[in-house]
Structure 1
Amino acid sequence: MPTVPFIAIEGPIGVGKTSLAKKLSAYFGYHLLPEIVEENPFLDKFYNNSDEWSFQTEMFFLCNRFKQMEDIERTYLNHHKAVIADYHISKNMIFAGRTLPEDKYEKYKQIHHILTRDLPIPNIMIYLHASLDTMLERIRKRGRTIEHHIQPSYLSQIADDYDAHMNAFEALHPDMSIIRIDGDDRDFVNHQDDLEAIIRQVQQHIDKQIGSDH
């Protein structure tokens, strides 16, 4: 793991990852690594016809996130500069497992393993989760055109997959600090008290993982 704070925020679609990453980045002064979503040329096609466009969609995400992670490691982490990201590349396996047919999933899994096996692992992971109603409302409010076709059943499945993935990820990386935040109870966008409570949690884990001198 990096010797400087490398914080990743994860959770299902619409749970508030980017909003929290921006706020924590501004507070701690860490470099912000944003997730690429709208730039995926296949995503709108995927939401309309997932069977036809799932492999292209997942491969685009994987390759772009791999390049981002390489750049972050070379430019920031290797130079002892802290980073906070609103995703972690392991999330790709969640969506690929849900969207790809078995034969393509096996090919994808092999490529994913080859690309990601030497990438840096966060020392702190923030896992945001929320009820289906909360996620749907936040998706509606932000009004991304490409998300208009997301079905509640699909979002619910992804949320369940995230729970299973995070439990497995935590078992695989016992030295990592994982902070679980209920998005129904913590409205860090509209309530400063909720944000400050999260900041205190994060600071405690930074001190634990890195030391209070950072």
Structure 2
Amino acid sequence: MNPVICIDGVVGCGKTTLAEILEQELNIPTFHELCNPDTEILLDKFYRDKTRWAFTMQIHFLNERFRMIKAVHKNGGGILDRSIFGDRIFASMLYEDGFMSKEEYTTYVTLLDNMLEHSLPPRLMIYLKCSVDQAIKNIQTRGREYELIVPRKYWERLNEKYTQWRHEYALSPLIEIDVDAVDILQEKDKIVEIIEKHLASSLSSL
């Protein structure tokens, strides 16, 4: 049986890149966040009109992440390149910034809490620490049009939220990789070795 590994971090930090490396090196299947074609359609609408699409987008993502965490456990393990455990980050920021009403946010939080009661935590959470400058550079390189129109202030706020979430996360063992200091592709062997050691350690403690 494979472990459940979650990779999280701000948009553009390299989650999918790391997931693909781990899938190849550890022979563990990846469950990708953007596997549903409706997701990118909604993301484009959301980034162009957050007030109209914020609540719809968050409910869509919440539903997708709940489906994915169930699928990965049904599969007997796998890698998630974002998960339900960090989903509140986006919604809380959108509510604070006025893009979701109090009633919408309350509905979202209630639904999330209900889903979390039925969501087993991963064996390992991998957090990719990333500066706003590096994230924007990566976003520009991959060239998704709907992300390129987003102002820097949004990415700064999101990074602040992720930093806070990382320090509060306590559902499972967590390791942090600073992608400003470590090139994931060039140092993949070292990274894989570190992750394997943490997985072995977490397994022995079960």
What does residue 9 of structure 2 align with? 11
TM-score under structure 2 normalisation? 0.90
Structure 1 position 150, deviation (Å): 1.6
Please show how residues 127-146 of structure 1 align to structure 2 within 5 Å.
127-146=127-146
Please show how residues 190-209 of structure 1 align to structure 2 within 5 Å.
191=186, 194-209=187-202
What does residue 30 of structure 1 align with? 28
Distance of 1:102 and 1:179 partners within structure 2: 34
What does residue 188 of structure 1 align with? 184
Structure 1 position 4, deviation (Å): 4.6
Higher mean Cα deviation, 106-115 or 34-43? 34-43
Secondary structure of the 2:138 match is helix
Identity, % of aligned pairs? 26
Say whether the 8 Å CA contact 1:4–1:210 is kept in structure 2: no
Distance of 1:48 and 1:159 partners within structure 2: 20
Q: What stretches of structure 1 of length at least 5 have no aligned partner?
A: none
- Code of the aligned partner of 1:43: L
- Code of the aligned partner of 2:119: L
TM-score under structure 1 normalisation? 0.87
Structure 1 position 39, deviation (Å): 3.0
Distance of 1:187 and 1:30 partners within structure 2: 22
Higher mean Cα deviation, 4-13 or 63-72? 63-72
- Report Cα offsets for 1:112-138 as digits up to 9, x if no partner: 111231112101011001111110000
Please show how residues 6-155 of structure 1 align to structure 2 within 5 Å.
6-36=4-34, 39-40=38-39, 41-74=41-74, 76-77=75-76, 82-99=77-94, 100-155=100-155
Say whether the 8 Å CA contact 2:127–2:175 is kept in structure 1: yes
Distance of 1:14 and 1:121 partners within structure 2: 24
What does residue 97 of structure 2 align with? none
Distance of 1:179 and 1:86 partners within structure 2: 15
What does residue 179 of structure 1 align with? 175
Q: Say what the alpha-carbon RMSD is for the aligned residues.
A: 1.7
- Code of the aligned partner of 1:113: D
Aligned residues: 198
Distance of 1:60 and 1:85 partners within structure 2: 17
Say whether the 8 Å CA contact 2:4–2:72 is kept in structure 1: no
Q: What stretches of structure 2 of length at least 5 have no aligned partner?
A: 95-99
Distance of 1:91 and 1:177 partners within structure 2: 15
